[in-house]
Amino acid sequence: MSTPFYVSPQQAMADRAEYARKGIARGRSLVVLQYADGIVFVGENPSRALHKFSEIYDRIGFAAAGKYNEYENLRIGGVRYADLRGYTYDRDDVTARGLANVYAQTLGTIFSSAGEKPYEVELVVAEVGATAAGDQIYRLPHDGSIVDEHGSVAVGGNAEQISTYLDQRHQDGMSLPDALKLAVQALSSQANGADKAIPAERLEVAVLDRTRSQQRKFKRIRGRQLARLLEADVPAAVQADAVSNDEASEDDAE
């Protein structure tokens, strides 16, 4: 009987982490930003039907990068968790924090159990509050750790680079068109320095809009509405604002 090779726990974990990271890096990155009236999700997604962003519950949205079947599985698990919890207790008892904890436990257990393949996914769970101060954004990497984010967050292959870009330019209280344009710029700036424009029809955009009168705040933005938001001809005042914001943020960056 042959003796198995000894692999140190550190090495085993490092290998699994590298495996998961590589899988995630193959997918396209996406960003989640706070804006004045809520939280906007932006990503490049050529598919009309297979979504990267979706609604989990009234005020809670979900975004994922990585392997589709794995995050879809987690998404449906999350919807079931939220609906069952809301049905058992009350709609207000479903929170992003609770959901993020469950996801973290799930990813963490899978990551550290030797028998299972680690999930190649990185998730964002976001909840829009009554005011911007009440917004919550949690980032969940493949290993089940959980990061409480503020302002902007990027996940996926070029996440680090995009995050840096966003950190320098994102401001609290941006308007939706401004936040959307910033997100698209961030996604377009590539690792090799050459920007490539992402056409509107390849963008997937959704918002958690706290000003919506309905109980469910999640809304997809597509077609004409998306084109309108992306177009430069926002009212002159807003545009002037946007320009001065841009200048200000560039000043900050220097």
Point out which residues bind other proteins (CB under 8 A): 49, 51, 54-56, 73-74, 76-81, 83-88, 98, 101-103, 105-106, 109, 214, 216
To other proteins, the closest distance from the beta carbon of 223 in angstroms equals 16
DSSP 44: E
Q: Output 48 or 133, the one with its CB closest to other proteins.
A: 48
Q: Report the residue number, 121 or 242, with the smaller CB distance to other proteins.
A: 121
CB of 139 to other proteins, least distance (A): 18
The smaller minimum CB distance to other proteins, of residues 55 and 178, is found at 55
Identity of the residue, 54 or 136, whose beta carbon is nearer to other proteins in the bound complex: 54
How far apart are CB 77 and other proteins at their closest, in Å? 4
For the CB of residue 157, give the shortest distance to other proteins in the complex, in Å. Answer: 25
* Nearest-angstrom CA–CA distance, 74 and 12: 24
Min CB(160)–other proteins separation in Å: 29
Q: Which residue's structure tokens are 């992003």?
A: 96
- Sequence-distant (≥ 6) Cβ neighbours of residue 235 within 8 angstroms: none
Task: Of 106, 107, 144, 100, give the one whose Cα is nearest residue 124.
Answer: 100
Is 57 in contact with 84 (CB distance < 8 Å)? no
Taking CA atoms, 174 is separated from 3, 17, 25, 171, 249, in Å, by 61, 35, 29, 6, 12
Contact criterion met (CB below 8 Å) for 204 and 50: no
Residue (101 or 245) nearer to other proteins, CB:
101
Q: Cβ(107)–Cβ(144) under 8 Å?
A: yes
